[in-house]
């Protein structure tokens, strides 16, 4: 009777063991993945490898230069080899992880009949208008005409000429090494009109190590889709001065032409305001020698902050604001002059602050006070003011004084105050800057995701990241192909998409969820469930070990 | 804005005809006004209004040039195609029963209502963006305005300015009653004033005094108005209003007199040179020549009579642009004194500070005979910090009893006795006057039930559900993993033995 009973008990024991093992298996195979899956933060897949690839991207900027030879510019036997293409490539040495190579792709050709005719005209202006008419040059490209050595188109001592559009003229030479020399001159001119190290260094100023590039490299505004320009007239003393300015006319006459020339670089909006009782933050010092007041150079940084609170942030848009302030000093502090570092008064009586704007001090003509009672009516000379403000505007957009090579004639910009090649140069710089910014943003996002595991990546954020990566790659390709306009548009899209992904509020949804609170919730559930499973596992383990040991003892 | 660099070189070729155009006459005007009204309760109300009128059509022009009209608001009008905008921030509540009807009405907290132009396609989107921008401009939490607290009234909020049609789908209205109004809302409001707070009436707007009041309401109203009598074109009107009610009793030791300096801790020194009108009105309705109940200093040059809010009122007018008003004394400190003797009585009130000191209210009252006097104090129940609750919070919290100290007239005049000689039960309180005796009464302490939270609820819920889950799981687990086997009873249980014992005794065969 005992034997079948024991057999039945053994069966029961084995069944119980199996059930316990099955529980453990279910808990591990089903429960753990389920728990993992339900508490996981959602992360759409991102192109991590491509993003890290962007970091080591090699930017190749191609400038297409068409060199056109007129009949007597170089020896005839040299001309017979035309047309052919020469590539002049060099690396731009910036301490930056992204390698930038600049290549001038020179295509040589012979002048057409019409061009010959134009270049044989008497003056540069006539030649230019005739050359410009039929042809439309692509953005970023240059055309250099090589004229004969003794052409009268240029003054005798000048070797080259840089025009307001994408054309330049170089004097040729009839020499054995003619080709070589002319080639060097062409490169010289092309570099002056196109990419230079300075321009790129200024564009990448934010991404370069601090020590190498001084602060004036950081002067230009950061690239953006649009800019707001605000002209403010500060009248701290309306009791004494009744200031009037014809800002409407000045904007229409001087600012709008400049901005419409710049319109490829972004949208611009202009407005103006008059602020009364707005004072500078610094008390001017009195200079008894000239019985005038002055602001020393070291105190200029303190001038801006108190004024800025009155300027009123631009409520209606998110674009960066450029402020231009015209300050009419109060009667008690006039005339007021700005001194430079050496203590000499600044000729323009103006200064600018990088990425912020400019301030000009406008002193009231002292003759106005004679005989008349306060307030004195002041009419602002807008030509004088706008000269300063437009020069500052150019600087703040990173369009510095052009660096003209020796023995080169520079025609100066047309009536807009901006040459077309300056605009091209700005677009080159902005494209590179945009690509760099987008790359940095994407890299930081990837790093952040690696570091913080609670960040959620939704599908729309992921698609923005993909779009940004594609746009960066497209911009790089277009730059390498020399298509400046489409490269610029692609780079803008890259920046927009990458920033939209980086600053998406959904990234932060689960950021604050500390571990100790998680365990406070899990333990009351997990502990009672885990203890029986663990105990029975331990028991099974002990019994199996005993049953393994028993046969050994018998032996 | 860190570094500033002097601009060294400037080679700019300016081009085109450099003709300097003659500036047009100013197309915008500023009027400012302050009305001071002594209220029936003894408080003083001050109402500022600053009105900027701009003869310009904001929507049409591409480039906008601002003079007196603030740029921030002008940009809003053109960007969001606003027809009208009314925004008010109010701290406190206008007690109509004690203070009479107000000039400017506003609900407690923040109120925003906007009429959009009929060119706006997505009104809800513009409304959302606009409230966000306004919240930035005025440092207020208007960004909490969303669809849950926005309504479109159809009858009560008509446009206040010029309007072609009143299609109510372009109106949005929202109130945030919880909004706390403070200095950070006043500062941006002051910045919109052309004279900032440097000259004119706005000199008086000193934040620490304005918020030391029983009522503070500031508002911005933008609306289109007729430019001329025939209304051929429109102008934009910006009204910035601010009303405050000063508790004159507390600050003035029970007197109803006031002066500008006492209220604002400033005086008027100069008119705003940009204002075309700058006036102070003082309500002197009770004032008549015969029995001078009140006196205004300096005496007004002109008075103004009108029927406002249903009553005839007389105002003393001070025009700041009139050189004589300020020049005599370099500054203008308006003062008003009541001639009639103040009522006898004494009230001392020291408000409580949370967790530092309790309220103290002392009143010295002369009670008429055979009368009942009732003193009642309203209070609000508040939630304490969770660590501040006593171990038995549901018992309630005690409010200490009130004290009534009185000199009661005696029925019979007591004999003056030597203080040292008299029995001890008579001589606790010194008696100065034999015709009355001193009594001090105490009321019962008040037991107040404060709302108490359930302190342990969240963790209880977690523990309970987990226990239920664990119990179910545990029994299930036990059932499945335990081995059950039948055990044969060897000798039988105790009950069986007992039964057999009884059976043997009875002579019945055992089981």
Mean pLDDT confidence for A134-162 = 77
How close B326 gets to chain A, by Cα (Å)?
15
Is there a contact between A16 and B481 if contact means CB atoms under 8 Å apart?
Answer: yes
Chain B residue numbers with beta carbons less than 8 Å from the beta carbon of A16 are 480-483
Contact in structure between A295 and A303 (CB atoms under 8 Å): yes
Question: pLDDT for A37-81, tens place per residue?
Answer: 887 788 888 888 888 888 777 888 888 888 888 877 776 666 666
Is there a contact between A536 and B22 if contact means CB atoms under 8 Å apart?
Answer: no
**Chain B residue whose CA is closest to A415:** B15
Is there a contact between B20 and A358 if contact means CB atoms under 8 Å apart?
Answer: no
The pLDDT of residue A90 is above 80: no
Q: State the Cα angle at A182 between A178 and A186, rounded to 5°.
A: 170
Is there a contact between A277 and B14 if contact means CB atoms under 8 Å apart?
Answer: no
**Chain A residue whose CA is closest to B471:** A528
Out of B11, B273, B481, name the one closest to residue A239 (CB).
B273
Q: What confidence tier does B455 reach under pLDDT thresholds 50, 70, 90?
A: confident
**What is the rounded distance in angstroms from the CA atom of residue B198 to the CA atom of residue A306?**
14
**Chain A residue whose CA is closest to B79:** A316
Identity of the highest mean pLDDT range in A539-548, B278-287, B450-459: A539-548
pLDDT of residue B7: 42
Mean pLDDT of all residues belonging to chain B: 81
**Chain A residue whose CA is closest to B191:** A310
Is there a contact between B72 and A216 if contact means CB atoms under 8 Å apart?
Answer: no
Chain A residue numbers with beta carbons less than 8 Å from the beta carbon of B475 are none
- Cα radius of gyration (chain B): 38
Q: What confidence tier does B457 reach under pLDDT thresholds 50, 70, 90?
A: confident
Chain B residue numbers with beta carbons less than 8 Å from the beta carbon of A270 are 63
How close B295 gets to chain A, by Cα (Å)?
33
pLDDT of residue B19: 39
**Chain B residue whose CA is closest to A299:** B4
Q: What confidence tier does B16 reach under pLDDT thresholds 50, 70, 90?
A: very low
pLDDT of residue A289: 86
Among A250, A274, A365, pick the best mutation site for testing chain B contact (most B Cβ within 10 A).
A274
The pLDDT of residue A9 is above 80: no
Chain B residue numbers with beta carbons less than 8 Å from the beta carbon of A12 are 483-485
Is there a contact between A12 and B483 if contact means CB atoms under 8 Å apart?
Answer: yes
**Chain A residue whose CA is closest to B135:** A315
Chain B residue numbers with beta carbons less than 8 Å from the beta carbon of A376 are none
Q: How far is CA B49 from the centre of its chain?
A: 19
More confident residue, A256 or A38: A256
**What is the rounded distance in angstroms from the CA atom of residue B95 to the CA atom of residue B73?**
32
Which runs of E-coded beta strand occur in B117-205? Answer: 150-151, 171-176
pLDDT of residue B114: 94
Out of A244, A270, A341, name the one closest to residue B63 (CB).
A270
Q: Phi and psi dihedrals of A59, rounded to 5?
A: -85, 130
Percent of chain A whose pLDDT exceeds 70: 90
Mean pLDDT confidence for A444-458 = 87
The pLDDT of residue B346 is above 80: no
How close A77 gets to chain B, by Cα (Å)?
45
Is there a contact between B8 and A346 if contact means CB atoms under 8 Å apart?
Answer: yes
For residue A498, what are its two tokens? 């990458």
Q: What confidence tier does A462 reach under pLDDT thresholds 50, 70, 90?
A: very high
Is there a contact between A388 and B481 if contact means CB atoms under 8 Å apart?
Answer: no
**Chain B residue whose CA is closest to A394:** B12
Mean pLDDT confidence for B284-301 = 70
**Chain A residue whose CA is closest to B136:** A315
**Chain A residue whose CA is closest to B273:** A239
Question: pLDDT for B136-162, tens place per residue?
Answer: 899 999 999 988 899 999 888 888 888
Contact in structure between A144 and A68 (CB atoms under 8 Å): yes
More confident residue, B394 or A461: A461
Contact in structure between A200 and A336 (CB atoms under 8 Å): no
Q: What confidence tier does A188 reach under pLDDT thresholds 50, 70, 90?
A: confident
| Nearest alpha-carbon partner for A356 in B71, B3, B7 | B3
Q: What confidence tier does B1 reach under pLDDT thresholds 50, 70, 90?
A: very low
Chain A residue numbers with beta carbons less than 8 Å from the beta carbon of B72 are 312-315
| Nearest alpha-carbon partner for A103 in A142, A64, A145, A57 | A64
The pLDDT of residue B48 is above 60: yes
The pLDDT of residue B61 is above 70: no
CB atoms within 10 A of CB B267: 17
Chain B residue numbers with beta carbons less than 8 Å from the beta carbon of A304 are 1, 4
Is there a contact between A348 and B1 if contact means CB atoms under 8 Å apart?
Answer: no
Is there a contact between A249 and B21 if contact means CB atoms under 8 Å apart?
Answer: yes
Do β-strands A58-69 and A99-110 pair in parallel, antiparallel, or remain unpaired?
A: parallel
**Counting one residue from A and one from B, how many pairs have CB atoms under 8 Å apart?**
205
- Token pair 């080259």 in the structure block, residue: A160
Is there a contact between B1 and A248 if contact means CB atoms under 8 Å apart?
Answer: no
pLDDT of residue A1: 43
3-state SS, residue A526: helix
Do β-strands B277-283 and B302-308 pair in parallel, antiparallel, or remain unpaired?
A: unpaired
The pLDDT of residue B96 is above 50: yes
Is there a contact between A276 and B65 if contact means CB atoms under 8 Å apart?
Answer: no
Q: Phi and psi dihedrals of A440, rounded to 5?
A: -60, -45
More confident residue, B98 or A518: B98
Q: What's the half-sphere exposure (Cβ side, CA atoms, 13 Å) at B465? A: 8
Q: What confidence tier does B60 reach under pLDDT thresholds 50, 70, 90?
A: low
Which runs of E-coded beta strand occur in A92-240? Answer: 99-110, 142-147, 160-162, 167-171, 226-235
Q: What's chain B's length in residues?
A: 511
Q: What confidence tier does B340 reach under pLDDT thresholds 50, 70, 90?
A: low
Q: Which of A34-43, A268-277, B336-345 has the lowest mean pLDDT?
A: B336-345
How close B26 gets to chain A, by Cα (Å)?
9
Chain B residue numbers with beta carbons less than 8 Å from the beta carbon of A348 are 7, 10
Out of A12, A272, A395, name the one closest to residue B484 (CB).
A12
pLDDT of residue B14: 42
Strand partners, B6: A351
Is there a contact between B7 and A310 if contact means CB atoms under 8 Å apart?
Answer: no
Chain A residue numbers with beta carbons less than 8 Å from the beta carbon of B18 are 383
How close B328 gets to chain A, by Cα (Å)?
19
Question: pLDDT for A494-507, tens place per residue?
Answer: 999 999 999 988 88
**Chain A residue whose CA is closest to B26:** A244
Is there a contact between B483 and A379 if contact means CB atoms under 8 Å apart?
Answer: no
Out of A252, A315, A341, name the one closest to residue B136 (CB).
A315
Q: What confidence tier does B333 reach under pLDDT thresholds 50, 70, 90?
A: confident
Q: What confidence tier does B293 reach under pLDDT thresholds 50, 70, 90?
A: low
Is there a contact between A5 and B5 if contact means CB atoms under 8 Å apart?
Answer: no
Out of B6, B71, B486, name the one closest to residue A312 (CB).
B71
Q: What confidence tier does A323 reach under pLDDT thresholds 50, 70, 90?
A: very high
pLDDT of residue B397: 84
pTM value?
A: 0.76
**What is the rounded distance in angstroms from the CA atom of residue A277 to the CA atom of residue B200?**
12
Mean pLDDT confidence for B126-138 = 92
| Nearest alpha-carbon partner for B89 in B196, B153, B180 | B180
Contact in structure between B323 and B330 (CB atoms under 8 Å): no
Q: Tell me, what's the ipTM?
A: 0.75
Q: Which of A79-93, A262-276, A514-528 has the lowest mean pLDDT?
A: A79-93
Chain B residue numbers with beta carbons less than 8 Å from the beta carbon of A388 are 7, 10
pLDDT of residue A417: 74
Q: Can you state the angle between helices A420-451 and A459-481, rounded to 10 degrees?
A: 140
Q: Which of B14-28, B176-190, B300-314 has the lowest mean pLDDT?
A: B14-28
Identity of the highest mean pLDDT range in A310-319, B121-130, B251-260: B121-130
Chain A residue numbers with beta carbons less than 8 Å from the beta carbon of B70 are 273, 312
Contact in structure between A20 and A533 (CB atoms under 8 Å): yes
Chain A residue numbers with beta carbons less than 8 Å from the beta carbon of B19 are 249
The pLDDT of residue A120 is above 80: no
Is there a contact between B5 and A351 if contact means CB atoms under 8 Å apart?
Answer: yes
Sheet containing A142-147: give its strands across. A85-91, A99-110, A58-69, A142-147, A167-171, A160-162, A408-410
Contact in structure between A124 and A145 (CB atoms under 8 Å): no
| Nearest alpha-carbon partner for B267 in B285, B280, B255 | B280
Is there a contact between A350 and B7 if contact means CB atoms under 8 Å apart?
Answer: yes
């Amino acid at each position: 009777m005992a034997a079948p009973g024991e057999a039945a008990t053994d069966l029961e024991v084995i069944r119980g063991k199996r059930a316990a093992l099955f529980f453990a298996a279910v808990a591990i195979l089903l429960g753990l993945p389920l728990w993992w899956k339900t508490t996981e933060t959602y992360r759409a897949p991102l192109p991590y490898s491509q993003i890290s690839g962007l970091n080591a991207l090699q930017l190749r900027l191609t400038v297409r230069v068409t060199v056109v030879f007129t009949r007597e510019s170089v020896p005839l036997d040299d001309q017979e080899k035309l047309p052919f293409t020469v590539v002049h490539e060099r690396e731009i040495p910036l301490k930056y992880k992204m390698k930038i190579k600049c290549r001038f792709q020179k295509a040589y050709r012979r002048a057409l009949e019409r061009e010959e005719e134009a270049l044989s005209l008497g003056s540069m202006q006539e030649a230019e208008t005739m050359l410009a008419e039929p042809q439309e040059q692509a953005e970023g490209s240059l055309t250099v005409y090589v004229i004969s050595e003794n052409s009268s188109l240029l003054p005798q001592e000048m070797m080259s000429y840089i025009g307001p559009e994408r054309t330049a003229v170089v004097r040729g030479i009839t020499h054995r090494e003619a080709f070589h020399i002319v080639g060097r001159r062409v490169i010289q001119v092309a570099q002056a009109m196109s990419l230079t190290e300075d321009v790129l260094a200024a564009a990448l100023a934010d991404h370069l190590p601090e020590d190498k590039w001084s602060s004036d490299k950081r002067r230009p505004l950061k690239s953006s889709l649009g800019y707001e320009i605000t002209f403010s007239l500060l009248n701290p003393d309306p009791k004494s001065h009744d200031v009037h300015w014809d800002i409407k006319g000045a904007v229409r006459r001087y600012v709008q032409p400049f901005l419409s020339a710049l319109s490829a670089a972004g949208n611009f909006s202009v407005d103006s305001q008059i602020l009364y009782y707005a004072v500078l933050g610094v008390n001017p010092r009195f200079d008894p020698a000239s019985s005038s007041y002055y602001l020393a150079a070291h105190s200029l940084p303190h001038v801006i902050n108190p004024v800025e609170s009155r300027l009123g942030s631009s409520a209606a848009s998110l674009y960066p604001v450029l402020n231009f302030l015209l300050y009419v000093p109060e009667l008690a502090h006039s005339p007021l002059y700005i001194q430079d570092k050496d203590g000499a008064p600044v000729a323009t009586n103006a200064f600018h602050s990088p990425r912020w704007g400019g301030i000009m001090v406008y002193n009231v003509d002292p003759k106005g006070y004679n005989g008349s009672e306060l307030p004195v009516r002041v009419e602002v000379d807008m030509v004088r003011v706008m000269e300063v403000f437009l020069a500052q505007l150019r600087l703040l957009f990173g369009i510095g004084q052009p660096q003209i090579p020796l023995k080169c004639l520079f025609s100066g910009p047309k009536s807009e105050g901006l040459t077309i090649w300056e605009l091209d140069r700005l677009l080159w710089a902005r494209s590179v800057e945009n690509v760099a910014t987008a790359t940095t943003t994407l890299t930081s996002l990837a790093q952040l995701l690696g570091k913080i595991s609670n960040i959620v990546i939704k599908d729309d954020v992921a698609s923005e990241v993909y779009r940004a990566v594609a746009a960066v790659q497209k911009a790089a390709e277009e730059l390498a192909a020399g298509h400046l306009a489409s490269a610029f548009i692609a780079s803008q899209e890259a920046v927009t998409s990458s920033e939209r992904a980086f600053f998406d509020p959904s990234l932060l949804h689960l950021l604050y969820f500390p571990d100790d609170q998680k365990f406070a919730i899990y333990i009351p559930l997990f502990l009672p469930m885990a203890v029986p499973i663990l105990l029975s596992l331990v028991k099974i383990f002990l019994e199996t070990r005993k049953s393994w040991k028993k046969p050994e003892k018998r032996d | 804005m860190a570094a500033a660099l002097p601009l060294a070189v400037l080679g700019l070729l300016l081009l085109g005809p450099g003709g300097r155009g003659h500036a047009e006459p100013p197309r915008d005007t500023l009027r400012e006004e302050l009305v001071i009204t002594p209220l029936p309760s003894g408080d003083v109300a001050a109402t500022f209004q600053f009105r900027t009128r701009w003869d310009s059509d904001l929507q049409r022009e591409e480039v906008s040039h601002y003079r007196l009209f603030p740029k921030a608001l002008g940009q809003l009008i053109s960007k969001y195609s606003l027809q009208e905008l009314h925004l008010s921030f109010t701290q406190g509540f206008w007690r109509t029963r004690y203070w009479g009807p107000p000039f400017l009405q506003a609900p407690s907290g923040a109120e925003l209502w906007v009429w959009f132009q009929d060119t706006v396609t997505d009104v809800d989107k513009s409304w959302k963006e606009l409230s966000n921008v306004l919240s930035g401009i005025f440092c207020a939490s208007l960004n909490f305005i969303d669809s849950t607290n926005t309504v479109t009234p159809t009858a009560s909020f008509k446009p206040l300015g010029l309007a072609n049609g009143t299609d109510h789908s372009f109106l949005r209205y929202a109130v945030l009653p919880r909004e706390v109004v403070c200095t950070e809302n006043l500062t941006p409001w002051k910045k919109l004033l052309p004279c900032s707070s440097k000259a004119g009436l706005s000199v008086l707007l000193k934040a620490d005094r304005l918020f030391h009041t029983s009522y503070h309401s500031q508002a911005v109203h933008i609306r289109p108005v007729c430019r001329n009598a025939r209304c051929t074109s429109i102008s934009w009107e910006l009204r910035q209003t601010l009303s405050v009610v000063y508790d004159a009793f507390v600050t003035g030791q029970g007197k109803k007199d006031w002066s500008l300096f006492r209220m604002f801790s400033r005086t008027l020194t100069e008119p705003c040179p940009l204002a075309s009108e700058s006036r102070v009105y003082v309500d002197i309705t009770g004032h008549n020549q015969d029995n001078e109940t009140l006196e205004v200093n300096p005496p007004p040059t002109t008075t103004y009579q009108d029927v406002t809010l249903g009553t005839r009122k007389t105002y003393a007018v001070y025009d700041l642009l009139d050189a004589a008003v300020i020049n005599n004394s370099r500054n203008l400190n308006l003062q008003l004194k009541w001639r009639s003797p103040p009522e006898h009585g004494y009230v001392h009130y020291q408000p409580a500070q949370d967790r530092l000191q309790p309220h103290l209210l002392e009143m010295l009252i002369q009670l008429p005979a055979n009368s009942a006097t009732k003193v009642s104090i309203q209070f609000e129940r508040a939630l304490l910090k969770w660590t501040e609750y006593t171990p038995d919070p549901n018992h309630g919290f005690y409010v200490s009893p009130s004290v009534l100290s009185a000199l009661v007239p005696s029925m019979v005049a007591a004999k003056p006795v030597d203080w040292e000689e008299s029995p001890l039960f008579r001589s606790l309180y010194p008696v100065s006057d034999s015709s009355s005796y001193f009594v001090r009464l105490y009321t019962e302490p008040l037991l107040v039930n404060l709302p108490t939270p359930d302190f342990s609820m969240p963790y209880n819920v977690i523990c309970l559900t987990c226990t239920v889950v664990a119990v179910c799981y545990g029994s299930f687990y036990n059932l499945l993993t335990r081995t059950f086997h039948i055990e044969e009873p060897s000798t039988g249980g105790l009950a069986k033995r007992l039964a057999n014992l009884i059976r043997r005794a009875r002579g019945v065969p055992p089981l």
